[in-house]
Each structure stands twice: as structure tokens, then as C-alpha cells.
Amino acid sequence: MLFSSLMFIFVFLPTVIFLYYISPAKLKNFVLLIFSLFFYGYGEPKSLFIMLLSISMNYLFGLLVDKYRSSKTQAYTILTLSAIGNLSIIGYYKYTDFFIENFNALFGLSVPLLHVIMPIGISFFTFQGMSYVIDVYRAQGKAQKNPLNVALYISLFPQLIAGPIVRYQTVAEQINERHVDLDKFASGIEKFILGLSKKVLIANSMGLIADEVFAFPTSQLSVLLSWVGVLAYTAQIYFDFSGYSDMAIGLGRMFGFEFFENFNYPYISKSITEFWRRWHISLCSWFRDYVYIPLGGNRASRSKLIRNIMIVWLLTGLWHGAAWNFIVWGLYFALLLLLEKFLIGRFLQKLWLPLQHLYALLFIVLGWLWFRAESLSYAIGYLTSMLGLGGQPIISTQALYYIVEYKFEFIAAIVASMPIYPLLQAKLKNSGIGLFLNYYIKYLVLIVLFGLCIMYLLNSTFNPFIYFRF
Amino acid sequence: MKRFGQIILIIMFLSIIFIIPMLTKLQKNQAISQFENRKLAEAPVFTETSLLNGEYFGKWETYLSDHIYGRNAWIKNYITMNMLVLGKEKLNDIVIGKKGFLLPFLNYDDKYYSINKEENLSKMAEQLKELQDKLAQKGGSFYFVGVPSQASYHKEEYPKQLQISNNLMYKTEQLLFDKLDQLDVSYINMNNVFRNKPEIEYYYKTDHHYNFEGAYATYYEIIKTVKQKVDQRVQPPLEKADLDIVTLPNPFGGSRNRQIYYMFPTQEKIKIAYPKNKIPYEKFNNGKPDNKLYYLSENKAAMINYGVYMGGDWAETVIKTNNDMLPNLLVFGDSFTNAIEPLLYNHFNETRILDLRYYDKMSLYEYIDKYKPDIVLMLRDDLNYGNLEGNGSFKGKNIKN
């Protein structure tokens, strides 16, 4: 189920809020768990069994790690087994066919593909499951005796399908004890509406443009159209993903949970290094704490440091998808990060500020090209069009159409990519206007935005059938 | 103060998410959507299989989308906001063109590109040739009547950035008629006829069909051609002076305007015509007697649409004047045939009209073998010249036995 669906907003959410708040404290987690499992099984009931397997496995490994923590070797062995178990599940469901394809290509074989259907959200719940066992091992969170609590941590519906990846240490206490007051509930609604608006009002329109442009053969792209397409995708992926994270954080707050922010205006970065501190923060910190630092992190020799960065970004690419373009995308950022670390970092800092932003944005946008393209050859062809090297026209009617017809969405995307509201809020903090904005206008705007989202969602269900005679 | 704002936000948010589903549950569900011209989803039936493959809840999602309380009002507001506030020229795949024309949004990946690819146009020309030859063997005649669609005839009225498919529309016509010339298939290209008198407006601005003028010109050209080139027995076409032309007072709900919930203001009206010299006839729709040629509303304020002509699309309509001195006609095609039928039948002994999108008793060839028409006409709009489905499928892929 998607947060931006009518079923979620008008059936699932009111039902879970109602039952959660009328339930006695002891039953609240149970209510959340039942609804989370329903939320997950809604679209793909069969996948529920895979998630339940992951939950059971991590629950047992958590208990075993806790039981044998006095023996470092035994605890470490259990931890290793849990990692192997989790990685086997994700490996099978996400990477089997990719592996077979490459194996066939490498050895000229024709081993048939298994066409494994990947359960939705497997990358997120697997990483959360691993986080649970690792944090118990590191004594950064208590092992849960009650399996329902582990199930709730892994399957909690707000962050189940698209993150943020909530570390066990972040919510270990909250699972057993949390509270909601008016402030928290209202801020949850605020965050949810902002996230929904990002998704429905901006990301969906940008996605429509990107999908149409990326469906063209690259030979038919004008230079302008290829830029419009990749910029639209740049906006889509940010507003889609950060919108979803905001909705998750907001929903979490409505039920008393506090998750960390997952995005912090990444497109205002002045370097790629800064970008990755602002983009998908929960994934980056997961890899930093569970892979990069255990490998030696920054405190290793230069060659090991390079190796560590390459490994982390190879894994980051693979985590995003089982295809070579994701690997190239990961390694592309690894190279840029290494360049900034060892070669151009200081030079960049001396550049005129707008040039720093331009540099970062350009390479971020190019990065999304690798990410969005269906294949490496398509990405290369697309890049050729962007650079005007394919002999295509500079401007096309189609490009003008997207620019003229979606000008407000593009403007909204640009404005919402920048921290204008927080800056305004800070500047007007104690003034009458600031208070008026914060106490009245903000809430009015939120209600209007929610109404607009519903309007857009309903219009998307408009489905005329011209030739049918009823 | 802050608390007040928060309380209002919470109350409003919860009210919306709680009250809308309750009202949805309480309201009486509609079976069809007048605006979308389709059946609305029915509540799904539970089966174990549908639950396990995810279909069951997917269908509930569709059901909720179709029946949610205030759906039409929300969508109308969306259209109004986009049209008036954001100044959008494309709404629900309708383009607000110049001079008040509502035109279809035809994108590069639109179905018309695949329909009208050269391969399909060649196939269409070949099957028209085959049909013409088959009729000739039996002493019959065939004519293909090509009508420009409202979108292609008025392609210059698209805003500049939306003139995406103009090339497609130029090419389709040229390709098909070049092939018909090569194969020596008889045809009437109404685009040429319309372009000869550009001062006349042949199309509705808010509907995808031609208006009375377009239908009359098409009728006139068909009868003129048939009389000159096929059968002298046919009476010459009725001049406008031979007709009582009535402008219906009802507001007009064009198909394109319907797609934007009739939010585009229009003063367009429907015209109908009766021959002054009335010829008696019998008429049957799908075998049932029904003598109406025009389906009018007694309420002059009621919105009417192109369905006024012949009551819309029927699988089979038969009109008999029972005058053995005149030839028999078979016309097949989409809804463009509807507006010319009330005039056309006057010139024939028996006029049979088929819409192969709905007719499933036999194939076109079997029908011709059975009823042996002297003249067969196929009427098609140019966005569907290469369409091999529906009225483009002569051998009947989905015939019920």
C-alpha cells in the first residue's frame, strides 16, 4: 500500500489511528503490528512470509547474541551467521537473476533465469533486521524477549517500504515506551502533509515528464529535451523519496515514534561529499557505521581508505538495484568522493560559491542519469544527446511543451529544494510577522496543501473511455 | 496561540480522513460515470486466489477511487484550478486550443502513432482493395470515405508547444490515399472537399465529431459521387433548400468538454434536418423496430450531445424505404456515420449500417454475402485510418458463433 493512495488516506490511516488510540497501552504495539503486517501483505500477500521469516530469524539471532555475549567468539560467530542469513535472503530475491545473467555472459552459458519476484521493501527490512542483531551485539540496544516487539521494529508500517532505515538503537526504547502529545501529533500531521505534497504535487508531475522522455530512443532526443528529462528525474527522485521519508517520519510521530531526518536539502550542496551527508542519511549512516568504520574507515592507510570507499559505494550501488548501471552509479560517486578527498577538495572550497553549487548539481544530475537509464548503453546515448554530440536539434516542440505546461511544477520543485521556509522562520523568529506565519498561516497552508493533494489524487483516477457505449 | 493552530490542523485533518470514508459508505453508489463514459468499478468478490495474488485489495482500491464521496466535485475543482489559476492548456488529455477549440492531446507515444504506422496503413489499403474486388465480382461497388478528424482538420489551432503530432496527421492522410491510388481503390477524401470551402465551419469546437455542416457536406459528396460514378438510379443529393433545418435549443455537451467536466464555456448548438419531401421508412436498431432518426429531449434545458443523431452507436441499424427501384446500401464505420444516416437513407431501397466494434453475429464478408448490397461504403476518420481493429477488422476476429 502506498501512503499516497486513497485507500491509505481514507481507510487504513483513520482505522489504525482510531483503534490505536482507543486501545489500552498494553495492546497499542499489537494493534500497530497487525496493521503493519496488513499494510505489507496488502499488495503482495505472498511476500509476507518472507518478511516473517526475516523477523523470526533476526529475533532468534538477537536472543542468541545476547545469550552468548560473554564469549566474544561465539557472539561474533552468531553475528556472522545472522549476516549470512540476512544477506542470503536479499541475495536470493534481489540478485539471483542478475548473477545468472552475468554468469551466462561471462562463460557463454545459457543457464535459465529463475525470474524471482522481489518482495517490496526487502532492502529496507533486511537492513533493519541486520541493524537489530548488530546493535544487540554492540550492546547499543536490548535484545527483545518478546518476538512481537522485534516484528514491530522490522515491520512498522511508516518506514517499512521506503525507509528511512531506522536503526534499532534509535527506537529500542521507543518500542516499549513512548508518548504522544498535541505538539507531537500536530507535527506528525504537518510532516505527513508536507511529504504527501512533495510526492503528489511535485514528484508525480516530474515523474510523468521523466518517464516520457526516458522512453524515447536517444536518437530522437533534442538537447533541450534530454536536459528537461534528466532535470525532471532529478526533481522526481528527490521529492518522491524525501516525500515518502517525510510521510514516514510524520506517521511515526502520530504514533509516538521519533525517527531521524533522512534528507536535508541535498541539492543545495557545494560538493558531492556534502551531498552524501544530506541525501538518504539513514542509508549512508548505516553503511558508515556497519561497513565503512568496521573496515577501518578514515583511520587506515591511503590505499585502504580508497579500498574502503570503493567497497562502500559498490555496495551502495548494488543495494539500489541489481543492474550494472547501479554499480556504475555507485562507483561514479566513489570516484568523485575520492577526487574531492585527495585532489580537488581544497580547490573547490576556494571557488566562487555559485560555482561550487553548480559543480555539485551538475555531477549530481549526471549521477541520476546512470541511475535512471535502463541500460548503460542508453545512458551513454543519453549523455551524448545532453552534450549535443549526436547531431540532434537543440530545441524540439516536445521540450517546449514540458517547459511551458509544467512551468509551475518546475518552479515549485526549485523553490522547495531550497531551505527558504526554515531560513525565513529563523529570520522572523521573534517578530510579529514570524509568529503570525508560524501560528496561523502555516496551518492554513497545510490544510490547503492537504486539500490540493486529495484533489490531485482524485483527478488521477479520472479514466475516460471514449469508445465504450454503456 | 500556537496550540490553537495545532488544534485546528488536527481537527481538520482528522475530519477529512474520517468523514469522507463515512460519507462514501453512506452514499448511493453510481453504476456509470457520465463524464468518463464508462462503467464504474463494482465491489470485488472475495476469493482465495484473488487474495493471494493481490488482486482482491487492488480491486478495492479501484472501487474506492471510483466511488469516493464528492469525486466529481473534487475533479471539477482540479480542472477549474488548473485552467483558471495555473493557466494550463492541457487538462485530462484535452488541449485548450486557439479560437476555443478543445482538441485531444496527442503525444509521441500516443496510440495513434502505433495505429497509423505505415505498415498498418498498407494493410488497410490492401484489405480495402480486397473488399472492392470481392464486391466487383458480385456486381457491387465500394467506396472508402475518409473524413478528417476534428483534431487533424484544426491542427493549426493547437498552441505552438502542443503541435506535437501535426506531422503524424499530415503523413497519415498522404500515405493512405497514395496507397489507395496505387491499388485503384475508389475513395472520397473529405479533407479535400472541406478545404475547398474553408469559410464553412465543419466541426464542433468542443466535440470530436463533425457538426451538421460537416455531416451534410459528407452526405452531399457521397450521394453526388454515387450518382455520378456508381448508380444513376440514385436521386441527386438534397439541397439545403430541400431541408427543414432546426437548431436545437438545448445546451450542447461535447465529448471533449465532457472530459473536462463541461468546465469550458460554449454556446454551441446541435442542428438537425428533415427532408421537406418526407419519404416513408421503417427502421430497426439491432433488429427491434425504432423509427426515431433523432433522439431529442423534451426538456429544452437538458444537455444533449452527438448521440442525438440516431441515438448514438448501434451494432446494426436497418432503414427500409421499400422502393425496389433504388439500390441497396451498406455503410460501416464509427460514430461519424450517425449524423449522415438521417439523410442518406432517402436515396436507397434499403440502408444497412453496421458498427463492427459492436456487431458480433457475423463478419463483414458474411454479412455482404447474406444481404448482397449494391453499394458498400466505409466511413473512417483519419486518426483511425490505420486502425485494424473494430471497423478496420473485416473478417471479424471476435464473432460469436
The reply to whether A86 and A192 lie within a common domain is no
Cβ contacts of B76-84, under 8 Å, gap ≥ 24: B76/B261, B76/B263, B77/A455, B78/A455, B78/A456, B78/A458, B78/A459, B79/A459, B79/B260, B79/B261, B79/B263, B80/B263, B81/A455, B83/B260, B83/B263, B83/B264
The reply to whether A290 and A367 lie within a common domain is yes
The reply to whether A158 and A19 lie within a common domain is yes
Distances (CA, A) of A4 to A132, A178, A307, B232: 29, 26, 41, 67
3-state secondary structure of B378: strand
- Mean pLDDT for chain B? 90
The reply to whether A215 and A94 lie within a common domain is no
What's the grid cell of residue B198?
A: 474553408
Contact A467 B5 (CB under 8 A): no
Segment 321-360 of chain B within 8 Å of chain A by CB: 334, 357-358
Compute φ and ψ for A322, nearest 5 degrees: -90, 75
Strands B328-333 vs B375-381: parallel, antiparallel or unpaired? parallel
Query: In terms of Cα–Cα distance, which of A74, A49, A72, A55 is closest to A64?
Result: A74
The reply to whether A69 and A189 lie within a common domain is no
Residue A60, Cβ density class (10 Å: 0-12 exposed, 13-18 middle, ≥19 buried): middle
Q: Which residues on A lie below 8 Å from B57 (Cβ)?
A: 1, 7, 42-43
pLDDT at residue A293 above 50?
Answer: yes
Question: What pLDDT is recorded for position B391?
Answer: 92
Contact B92 A6 (CB under 8 A): no
**Dist CA B385 CA B168 (whole Å):** 12
The reply to whether A67 and A188 lie within a common domain is no
Averaged pLDDT, A286-296: 87
Considering only CB atoms, A7 lies closest to which of B38, B64, B358, namely: B64
pLDDT tens digits along A174-207: 888 888 999 999 999 999 999 999 999 999 999 9
Final residue of a domain: which of A178, A195, A216?
A178
Assign B110 a pLDDT band (cuts: 50, 70, 90). low
Contact A462 B75 (CB under 8 A): yes
What residue type is A128 in one-letter code? Q
Q: Which residue is closest to A46 within chain B, CA to CA? A: B52
Question: What pLDDT is recorded for position B399?
Answer: 52
Task: Give B199's DSSP letter.
Answer: T
The reply to whether A245 and A284 lie within a common domain is yes
Final residue of a domain: which of A178, A210, A237?
A178
- Chain-centre distance for alpha carbon A168: 18
Question: What pLDDT is recorded for position A465?
Answer: 52
Question: What pLDDT is recorded for position A463?
Answer: 56
Q: Does B22 touch chain A (CB under 8 A)?
A: no
What residue type is A402 in one-letter code? Y
What's the grid cell of residue A448?
A: 490547503
The answer for residues whose C-beta is within 8 angstroms of residue A420's C-beta and 6 or more apart is: none
A164 prior amide bond cis, ω within 30: yes
pLDDT tens digits along B284-297: 999 999 999 999 98
Assess contact for B380 and B333: CB atoms under 8 A.
yes
pLDDT at residue B245 above 80?
Answer: yes
Q: Which residue is closest to A400 within chain B, CA to CA? A: B161
Question: CA triplet A326, A250, A154: central angle to 5 degrees?
Answer: 60
Residue B287, Cβ density class (10 Å: 0-12 exposed, 13-18 middle, ≥19 buried): exposed
**Dist CA B213 CA A77 (whole Å):** 86
Considering only CB atoms, B54 lies closest to which of A45, A189, A466, namely: A45
Question: What are the respective helix, strand and coil percentages of chain A, to the nearest 5?
Answer: 75, 0, 25
Question: What pLDDT is recorded for position B145?
Answer: 97
* Residue from B57, B69, B93 whose CB has the most chain A CBs within 10 Å, to mutate: B57
**Dist CA B284 CA B290 (whole Å):** 5
Question: What pLDDT is recorded for position B270?
Answer: 95
pLDDT at residue A162 above 80?
Answer: no
Residue A192: Cβ within 10 Å count: 26
Strands B90-91 vs B94-96: parallel, antiparallel or unpaired? antiparallel
Residue spans of alpha helices (H) in A198-322:
204-214, 223-254, 272-278, 281-287, 293-295, 302-320
pLDDT tens digits along B345-393: 999 999 999 999 999 889 999 999 999 999 999 999 998 999 998 999 9
**Dist CA A134 CA A126 (whole Å):** 12
What size, in residues, is chain B?
401
* Residue from B1, B7, B9 whose CB has the most chain A CBs within 10 Å, to mutate: B9
3-state secondary structure of B294: strand
The reply to whether A77 and A204 lie within a common domain is no
Task: Give B47's DSSP letter.
Answer: -
**Dist CA A79 CA A67 (whole Å):** 12
Domains identified in chain A, total number? 2
Distances (CA, A) of B256 to B94, B101, B213, B261: 7, 9, 19, 9
pLDDT at residue A170 above 80?
Answer: no
Assign A462 a pLDDT band (cuts: 50, 70, 90). low
* Structural domain boundaries, residue A233: 184-416
Assess contact for B347 and B234: CB atoms under 8 A.
yes
Q: Does B1 touch chain A (CB under 8 A)?
A: yes
Name which residue leads in pLDDT, B400 or A37: A37
Query: In terms of Cα–Cα distance, which of A148, A122, A157, A154 is closest to A135?
Result: A154
Task: Give B155's DSSP letter.
Answer: G
What residue type is A82 in one-letter code? S
pLDDT tens digits along B227-240: 999 888 889 999 99
3-state secondary structure of A433: helix
Is A258 contained in some domain? yes
Is A445 contained in some domain? no
What size, in residues, is chain A?
470
Q: Does B57 touch chain A (CB under 8 A)?
A: yes
- Mean pLDDT for chain A? 88
Q: Does A70 touch chain B (CB under 8 A)?
A: no
pLDDT at residue A169 above 80?
Answer: no
Residue B218 has, within 13 A of its CA and on its CB side, a CA count of 34
Segment 32-51 of chain B within 8 Å of chain A by CB: 32, 35-39, 51
Final residue of a domain: which of A178, A204, A226?
A178
pLDDT tens digits along A406-446: 999 999 999 999 999 888 878 877 787 877 777 778 889 99
**Dist CA B154 CA B103 (whole Å):** 8
Assess contact for B346 and B393: CB atoms under 8 A.
no
Question: Cα torsion at A245, A251, A254, A260 (round to 10°)?
Answer: -20
**Dist CA B135 CA A305 (whole Å):** 83
- Paired with B332 in beta bridges are B354, B378
pTM for this predicted structure: 0.83
- What is the biggest distance separating any 2 CA atoms in chain A, rounded to whole angstroms? 75
pLDDT at residue A470 above 50?
Answer: no
What residue type is A303 in one-letter code? S
Question: CA triplet B113, B91, A405: central angle to 5 degrees?
Answer: 80
pLDDT at residue A65 above 60?
Answer: yes
Calculate what percentage of chain B has a pLDDT beyond 70: 97
Catalytically active residues of A, by annotation: 320
Considering only CB atoms, A469 lies closest to which of B1, B14, B313, namely: B313
pLDDT tens digits along B219-229: 999 999 999 99
pLDDT at residue A329 above 80?
Answer: yes
Assess contact for A32 and A20: CB atoms under 8 A.
yes
Of A455-459, B204-208, B307-311, the least confident: A455-459
> In angstroms, what separates the C-alpha of A268 from chain B's closest C-alpha?
27
Question: What pLDDT is recorded for position A469?
Answer: 30
> In angstroms, what separates the C-alpha of A447 from chain B's closest C-alpha?
7
Three-class HEC string of A331-361? HHHHHHHHHHHHHHHHHHHHCCHHHHHHHHH
Q: What is the ipTM of this complex?
A: 0.86
Question: What pLDDT is recorded for position A468?
Answer: 35
- Paired with B331 in beta bridges are B353, B377
* Residue from B4, B6, B50 whose CB has the most chain A CBs within 10 Å, to mutate: B6
Assess contact for A54 and A125: CB atoms under 8 A.
yes
Averaged pLDDT, B201-221: 96
> In angstroms, what separates the C-alpha of B231 from chain A's closest C-alpha?
34
**Dist CA A443 CA A272 (whole Å):** 35
The reply to whether A323 and A198 lie within a common domain is yes
Contact B65 A183 (CB under 8 A): no
Averaged pLDDT, A288-292: 88
Helix, strand counts (H, E) of chain A: 26, 0
Averaged pLDDT, A129-150: 87
What's the grid cell of residue A376?
A: 548503460
The reply to whether A250 and A281 lie within a common domain is yes
Query: In terms of Cα–Cα distance, which of B294, B281, B273, B378 is closest to B326?
Result: B281
Considering only CB atoms, B161 lies closest to which of A18, A189, A397, namely: A397
The reply to whether A158 and A215 lie within a common domain is no
Strands B271-275 vs B187-189: parallel, antiparallel or unpaired? unpaired
Cβ contacts of A173-181, under 8 Å, gap ≥ 24: A174/A256, A174/A257, A174/A258, A175/A29, A175/A144, A175/A149, A176/A149, A178/A255, A178/A256, A178/A257, A178/A258, A179/A256, A180/A253, A180/A254, A180/A255, A180/A256
**Dist CA B333 CA B380 (whole Å):** 6
Query: In terms of Cα–Cα distance, which of B102, B99, B101, B100 is closest to B91?
Result: B102
Name which residue leads in pLDDT, B113 or B307: B307
- Paired with B95 in beta bridges are B90, B103
The reply to whether A145 and A190 lie within a common domain is no
Gyration radius of chain B over CA positions:
24
